Amino acid sequence: MKNRRSLWIPLAAFAVLAAFLGVGLTLNPRELPSPLVGKAAPAFSLPQLHAAGEVIAPEGLRGQVYLLNVWASWCSSCRAEHEHLMALAGTRELPIYGLDYKDERDAGIAWLHRNGNPYIASAFDAEGRAGIDWGVYGVPETFLVDAQGVVRYKHVGPLTPAVIEGRILPLARELARHG
Amino acid sequence: MARFVAMLLLAFASLAQAGEARPVAADPVLEARVSKLAQELRCLVCQNQTLEDSHAPLAIDLKNQVRDMLASGRSESEVVDYLVARYGDFVLYRPPLKATTLILWIGPLLLLAISLLALLHHIRRGTAAPADDGRIDAEAARRADALLGLHPGKDSP
């Protein structure tokens, strides 16, 4: 070989490729950056799950920092996060509202009866139109909304204590201080 | 005849499937616009499929949303803006050219240019170097023979 240094080029190229692929492996393809963060919470006006005659709308929730959790009785990962939502609701630190997404009313009510109800109220989105407006693509999803009605944080997938303690609560406390 | 029956059955089978999976608008012109647009949009659940290809519930909902918006007189670009505002650029199969996507667009061209330059360089150097005449010197020949188990210096039997 005339030039021994050129031998290293394929190895270097491979190392670069491996580094890129390695980083790619650690990323979760389901976690997409939400364009909603920093924008006003999309409006909806939906019947409540437990009271079909009463309407729940984000405008009515203004003036408080709250969590909107998108869930459904058919969603198995919602079971995984439910105990953490129950624990959070137990602290009474952050009001939690639910959006029952593409569900049957009876099934949703039965599910909450069985597993406990951490929500102050749940909106019932049978057709998933509000879900589309909120950019929901994988249940469960959770949004933190500030007192001015601006979405501040979005989490896709089941909540974990690490996410609640590490991201949501610190941000909610900060928003409550400044709001 | 059997072939004709088979074709007929196949035709009905595809009809049945189409009716089940995606409600088709009565207006074929509108449906063509919906399909064309749905081919440009990504299904967010099954991320390597377009809305047109996907039968995931969310994909069907989004396609219905696209159909409703087009039917109500909104333009293609308004529908795309609506979806991008909710799901981000990821919903587009053809990402827009901007600072964050620049490497995506020019990366392959850059790699091609680098490879071509390297190839050119390699070819030039190859022609400039003295050509290999195919002969090897006596020392190398002896070593090769020794490795092959032949006895150096002796003629083959």
- Each residue's pLDDT, cut to its tens digit, for chain A (179 residues) gives 456 777 888 899 999 999 999 988 888 777 777 888 999 999 999 999 999 899 999 999 999 999 999 999 999 999 999 999 999 999 999 999 999 999 999 999 999 999 999 999 999 999 898 999 999 988 899 999 999 999 999 999 999 999 999 999 999 999 988 86
pLDDT surpasses 90 at B17? no
Chain B partners within 8 Å of A132 (Cβ) = 61-62, 65, 86
Considering only the beta carbons, identify the residue of A129, A132, A137 that sits closest to B45. A137
Chain B partners within 8 Å of A2 (Cβ) = 129
B49 touches chain A (CB under 8 A): no
pLDDT surpasses 70 at B19? no
pLDDT for position B20: 43
pLDDT for position B15: 47
Q: What is the DSSP string of B49-107?
A: SBTTT---HHHHHHHHHHHHHHHTT--HHHHHHHHHHHH-GGGBSS---SGGGHHHHHH
pLDDT for position B21: 46
Question: Is the pTM here over 0.80, yes or no?
Answer: no
B88 touches chain A (CB under 8 A): yes
pLDDT surpasses 80 at B157? no
pLDDT for position A138: 82
pLDDT surpasses 80 at B127? no
Rg for chain A, CA atoms, rounded: 21
Question: Tokens for A40?
Answer: 């006003």
Q: Do A35 and B84 touch (CB under 8 A)?
A: yes
pLDDT surpasses 60 at B92? yes
Q: Do A135 and B129 touch (CB under 8 A)?
A: no
Q: Give the separation between CA A144 and CA A68, rounded to whole angstroms.
A: 6
Q: What is the ipTM of this complex?
A: 0.74
Considering only the beta carbons, identify the residue of A128, A132, A138 that sits closest to B86. A132
- The CA distance from B136 to the nearest CA of chain A, in Å, is 16
Confidence band for B90, pLDDT divided at 50, 70 and 90: confident
- Assess contact for B107 and B95: CB atoms under 8 A: no
pLDDT for position B143: 87
- The CA distance from B16 to the nearest CA of chain A, in Å, is 23
Q: Give the separation between CA B109 and CA B97, rounded to whole angstroms.
A: 14
B82 touches chain A (CB under 8 A): no
